[in-house]
Amino acid sequence: LAKTTQPISMDSYEGQEVNITCSHNNIATNDYITWYQQFPSQGPRFIIQGYKTKVTNEVASLFIPADRKSSTLSLPRVSLSDTAVYYCLVGENTDKLIFGTGTRLQVFP
């Protein structure tokens, strides 16, 4: 099973770029990488998904190296409202849907 490892927490200041890396050494060939954001007492919210190289949307960018054993979520110019837990998810089949422990991002003014 593809297990993920993320830093437990990160701190940043408003306006800075934040990069959160997720390790998934056992990622399978057909696995996609998905990142979610979760605020306290709320369900996770989809941020971005990718398979390889780089993906960018209006919220974030996702960088995936050629070996796909890790991925980096990049949040440009964070604000206080970006304070949340960020989950890295890797899975091919439903029975392999595994959320990481998450990274708690704290943004300071």
Partner 1 sequence: ETGVTQTPRHLVMGMTNKKSLKCEQHLGHNAMYWYKQSAKKPLELMFVYSLEERVENNSVPSRFSPECPNSSHLFLHLHTLQPEDSALYLCASSQDPNPTDTQYFGPGTRLTVL
Distance of CA 35 to the CA centre of its chain: 4
Instruction: Return the number of the residue (44 or 82) whose C-beta is nearest partner 1.
Output: 44
Site for partner 1 in 63-82 (CB under 8 A): none
Q: Does the footprint of partner 1 cover residue 28 (CB under 8 A)?
A: no
As measured in angstroms, the least distance from the Cβ of 51 to partner 1 is 9
d(CA 73, CA 76): 10
Cβ-proximal residues to 27 (8 Å cutoff; 6+ apart), any chain: 2, 33, 68, 69, 90
Q: By CB under 8 A, name the binding residues for partner 1.
A: 31-32, 34, 41-46, 49, 87, 89, 91-102
